[in-house]
Chain A
Amino acid sequence: MRCVRRLACALVLLAAGGAGGEGLASDPGTYVPREYIVTLAGADAAEALRALYGEYGIERLQPLGETRFLLRLARDPGIETLRAAAEASGRRVELARNYVYRYQR
């Protein structure tokens, strides 16, 4: 049996006040860069999304249920630009970041 947490604590302490004033490890971020959760209804949803966002280089378009997709772009213009494109298309497209959740240990 080992105390994994104790080791982790020691390393955190190291990171917080190590030799030469080393600081905390950087925040790993709250979402996955270039990835979005997109909701669009319709049998042609995947096709429509490819048409809508193809210019940004679609690396991945994975269905997540009936109307939802994981979209990964090669070039991320930002969520507002993507929303504006969706609005201009006249289709009801919902966009959110692919957020990162941390284990609470």
Chain B
Amino acid sequence: MTKVCTAVLLALALLVVPARAGERPAAIANAPAPPPVPDELLVRFKAEATAAPASVAQRLGDRLQRALGARYAVMKLESGQTLADALAAYRAMPEVEAVQPNYRYRFLAVPNDPLYPQLWALNNDGQPVEGGTLAAAIPGSDLDMERGWDEITDCTSVIVAVLDSGVNYLHQDIAGNLWDGSAAGFPLHGYDFLDDDNDPMPADAFGHGTHVAATIGAVGNNGIGVAGVCWRAQIMALRIGDRRGATTARIVQAMQFAIEHGARIINLSLGGSEHDPAFEEEVERARRRGVLVVTAAGNEGADNDDGATPFYPCDFPQDNVVCTAALDQSYNRASFSNFGAVSVDVGAPGTNILSAWPGRVRADDLRGWVRTGGWTETVCNFNLGRLPALVNPASWCATPPGTYAAGANDVAYKAFDLAGVRHARAAFFRFLATEPDVDFLGYALSPVGGNPFAVGSLIALHSGSTGTRPIEESIDLHGCFTSTCTFGFRLQSNGAVADRGVAIVGLRIDTVEPNANAYAVLQGTSMAAPHVAGVAALVWAYNPRYTSADVRAALIEGGEPVGALAGITASGRAVNAFGALQYIAPPAGVAAAVR
């Protein structure tokens, strides 16, 4: 979409109104003047002028290139004068009211993706983000992507490996931008090191990796959803974990895979607190192979360099690591973001980041359940707010709470339309207190509807107490991908002891859908890192001969100084796409003799 034009009509408007600076973010307003067409001038004639434009041009040794209405004309300079001399000469003509160069304007590249206006990280005009937290915003605090995209939007020459929770490679906004691993035997664009197969779909419907991948390379300017930092990309999807995280073993395997299969950038939106020699060795191997590793600074709000709270891989000393802190919409450090004057290299947007999600998330209001016995739909007061809950007994929320019935065989279930999904999980929090190994809470599924404990399959049984802490459950709904899927709970007790019972809170169904067009807002240094990885891919595609060190230098030295990062990061800069693309390293090893 990047276009160059001799914007005659636009320039005519500028003859009267020199700039539209107020309509652009500050970073754009400060842009240098566009270059003039070297042998043309724009002339506005006085209303009372009687001489024809062509004759005026002729008197100065030039010719009329084009008349633009009654009073405007483009003059072709043929007299051999410099532009400055020609400007002066025309200005001196009695018929001329104003004259200026005919500037060559370039359209700033703006994608047509409908959610692009919410992507403040790419172009911050102070906009709110639907589904995000309310936040103050300073326009212009962004990656300066539109000026960057004016140079390049296509990163397909650079493979970016996303080592994460998997990627929904069938998402409408990602499907076109994936690594083609067919020739190497990986037709599904990557590998799943968790399940040890070649399908990197997020089988647990956890969308972190899909979100990260789309930030780097959602298809841009396709009229769908969001735009990635790269409009065209080759994302290598490597699933190394589920919603609980990833382990050393899977990271090591995936890094080896990425390096061996040509990835030049590895995005790691994760971290841990233990020094891990195997992990560091792979980062070192990546360094030797010229692979850049972009990673998250961490979300503890801590100093990674204080000796007490190290954070890896951010703290690894290899110089191919670009560790990224998160900035908010005012380019303050996000409150959760770790920092480090030595280990954290740069900042990038990491709050209220809208990106792709593997499928719809169906938050259930815990209403409309088919219930028997003591199951009750209620709202409990949880100190920090009243939340819907499905409880048994009805008095679970009372003070003091009651107990469930002896001899209970109570079920509660609800139908969910899961037709066509690839994966789905029910996630919820449960509080449980039952007589251990005697009274049970069960979960069941039925693909054909009805009471899943009567016509479906029992999935799990729990007994005993969660104590004062809720347990977060994530139940695989595989086998129930129908329009009539019912999912339910059963509380069974004998006749002896009764306890406080069960509360189910915050139930939602996460899905992975083919042809998905779902999006979500997340916060974190996980979200900052892929912005940097995307800019790195742009820089590398723009400068194919760059080494990883060159790309890293461009990211850092081409960054924008940000006060909030000064002294708490190594560079004090936020990554800036335009700056990184324009950055040229000063020559090294050059000696000059001065007389």
Question: Interface on A for B, CB 8 Å cutoff?
Answer: 1-7, 10-11, 13-26, 28, 30-32, 35, 37, 39, 62, 64-65, 68, 70, 94, 96-105
What's the least CB distance linking B473 to chain A, in Å?
11
B92 at the interface (CB under 8 A from A): no
Q: What is the CA–CA distance of A26 and B249 in the complex, to the nearest angstrom?
A: 24
Interface stretch (choices B83-91, B98-106, B267-275, B583-591): B267-275
Q: Per a CB cutoff under 8 Å, which of A14, A23, A35 touches B429?
A: A14
Classify the interface of chain B: helix, strand, loop or mixed. Answer: mixed
Are A7 and B470 touching (Cβ within 8 A)?
Answer: no
B406 at the interface (CB under 8 A from A): no
Q: In the assembled complex, which residues on chain A have CB atoms less than 8 Å from the CB atom of B241?
A: 101, 103
Q: In the assembled complex, which residues on chain B have CB atoms less than 8 Å from the CB atom of A39?
A: 277-278
Q: What is the CA–CA distance of A99 and B523 in the complex, to the nearest angstrom?
A: 24
Q: List 17 A-B contacts (CB under 8 A).
A: A2-B357, A7-B506, A10-B387, A13-B384, A18-B470, A35-B247, A35-B249, A39-B278, A64-B249, A64-B252, A96-B276, A97-B274, A99-B248, A103-B524, A104-B271, A105-B269, A105-B523
Closest 6 CB pairs of A and B: A17-B383, A3-B131, A105-B524, A104-B526, A104-B296, A70-B249
Within 8 A of A (CB), among B320-356: 354
Q: Per a CB cutoff under 8 Å, which of A6, A37, A104 touches B248?
A: A37
Q: Per a CB cutoff under 8 Å, which of B252, B277, B529 touches A65?
A: B252
Which residue on chain A has the smallest CB distance to residue B209?
A: A103
Q: In the assembled complex, which residues on chain A have CB atoms less than 8 Å from the CB atom of B363?
A: 2, 7
Q: A11-B429, A68-B278 are in contact. Are A102 and B208 (CB under 8 A)?
A: no
Are B278 and A30 touching (Cβ within 8 A)?
Answer: no
Q: In the assembled complex, which residues on chain A have CB atoms less than 8 Å from the CB atom of B385?
A: 10, 13-14
Number of A-B contacts (CB under 8 A): 180
Are A98 and B249 touching (Cβ within 8 A)?
Answer: yes
Q: What is the CA–CA distance of A39 and B142 in the complex, to the nearest angstrom?
A: 44
Are B519 and A17 touching (Cβ within 8 A)?
Answer: no
What's the least CB distance linking A25 to chain B, in Å?
6
What's the least CB distance linking B85 to chain A, in Å?
58
Q: Interface size class for chain B?
A: 35 or more
B130 at the interface (CB under 8 A from A): yes
Which residue on chain A has the smallest CB distance to residue B285?
A: A65
Q: What is the CA–CA distance of A51 and B442 in the complex, to the nearest angstrom?
A: 43
What's the least CB distance linking B538 to chain A, in Å?
23
Q: Per a CB cutoff under 8 Å, which of A14, A23, A32 touches B382?
A: A14
Which residue on chain A has the smallest CB distance to residue B466?
A: A22
